[in-house]
């Protein structure tokens, strides 16, 4: 899909799939700078805002997002536990040869 004038692209974080029971899933995304030869003509702007719940906040699928007959895809956890798991999995991948 090509961006249209006046539109915004919003990357949702990794808690939204949990809260929405996978109705809304975050996409893998990376930021790549344009080649040096194109930077002066680039119109791309990125504004980053990260917001995290308190470490002891309970993270679980919202009841309204669990359809009748469906089960929760994620067990309840604290945000601190969720974040620690994500951090450790990232660190382990970067340490491996």
The per-residue pLDDT for range 33-85, each reduced to its tens digit, is: 778 888 777 776 677 777 888 999 999 999 999 999 999 999 999 999 998 98
> Model-level pTM?
0.65
Q: Is 32 part of any domain? A: yes
6 within some domain: no
Secondary structure E strands in the chain: 58-59, 77-78
- Domain of 87 in residue numbering reads as 16-95
- The domain total for the chain is 1
SS3 15: coil
| pLDDT of res. 52 | 85
pLDDT tens digit string along 16-45? 999 999 998 887 766 677 788 887 777 766
d(CA 49, CA 80): 19
Q: How many CB atoms lie within 10 A of CB 89?
A: 10
CB contact burial 14-33 (16+ within 10 A = b; e otherwise): ebebbbbbeeeeeeeeeeee
């Amino acid at each position: 899909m090509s961006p249209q004038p006046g539109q915004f692209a919003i990357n949702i974080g990794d808690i939204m799939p949990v809260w929405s029971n996978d109705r809304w899933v975050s996409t893998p995304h990376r930021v790549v700078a344009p080649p040096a030869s194109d930077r002066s003509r680039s119109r791309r702007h990125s504004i980053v805002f990260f917001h995290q719940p308190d470490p002891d906040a309970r993270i679980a699928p919202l009841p309204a997002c669990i359809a009748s007959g469906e089960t929760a895809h994620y067990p309840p956890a604290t945000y601190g536990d969720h974040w620690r798991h994500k951090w450790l999995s990232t660190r382990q991948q970067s340490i491996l040869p």
